[in-house]
Amino acid sequence: MCGDLEEEDGPSSLEEMLCNRFIINVRSVLAEAERHPKPQNDPVFAGLDKLFTDALSRALKDIQAQDANDSYRMMALLPLVFARLAGFLAAHSSIQDDPLRKVMEALMHGYAEPDSIVPDHGHDHDEAQGHQHY
């Protein structure tokens, strides 16, 4: 019928592109964290960095375990799970710590982060290598 959207069997090309971009960005973040771990004087912050990369790694595995029709759907719903977790954790913080502000600032930081990720090519980019990526 005119104007009705037909149900598709698989993901749209946009959904597939977004999911692939997510996978590439996660792999880049994980590779960068493995090659260049941030020096942390504070073991709490070191543990938090590890928790972040562990969560990203788990999310990637869970998405890749889905069939092609469900991988985008899984990826698109993950922010709701992590937002729920963030809210649950923040609810146990002192109100003087302003947990909601910290959660919102971290959310906005994470939202902007993919724009600054350089795709991983499996090696560092020092001048001595003398090659280019196209």
Which residue type occupies 47?
A: G
* 76-101 confidence digits (pLDDT tens): 999 999 999 999 999 999 989 899 89
Phi, psi of 7, deg, nearest 5: -70, 130
How high does pLDDT run on average in the chain? 85
Q: What is the mean predicted confidence (pLDDT) over 119-130?
A: 59
User: At 110, is the pLDDT very low, low, confident or very high (cuts 50, 70, 90)?
Assistant: very high
Q: Place 123 in a pLDDT band, splitting at 50, 70 and 90.
A: low
Question: Residue 66: which pLDDT band, with cuts at 50, 70 and 90?
Answer: very high
Residue that is written with structure tokens 């941030």 in the block: 38
CA dist list (Å): 28 to 8, 104, 118? 31, 24, 7
| The pLDDT value given to residue 107 | 92
Check residues 127 and 49 and name the one with the higher pLDDT.
49
CA 36 to mean position of chain CA atoms: 18
Q: Is residue 1 scored above 50 in pLDDT?
A: no
Helices (H) and strands (E) in the chain, counts: 4, 0
**Does residue 132 register a pLDDT over 90?**
no
For the chain, the structural domain boundaries read 13-118
Calpha distance 109→44 (Å, rounded)? 20
Kindly calculate the radius of gyration of the chain based on its CA atoms and give it in whole angstroms.
Answer: 19
Average pLDDT (21-33) is: 95
Residues 6+ positions from 102 with CB-CB distance below 8 Å:
90
pLDDT at 35 over 60: yes
What number is the average pLDDT over the span 102-129?
79
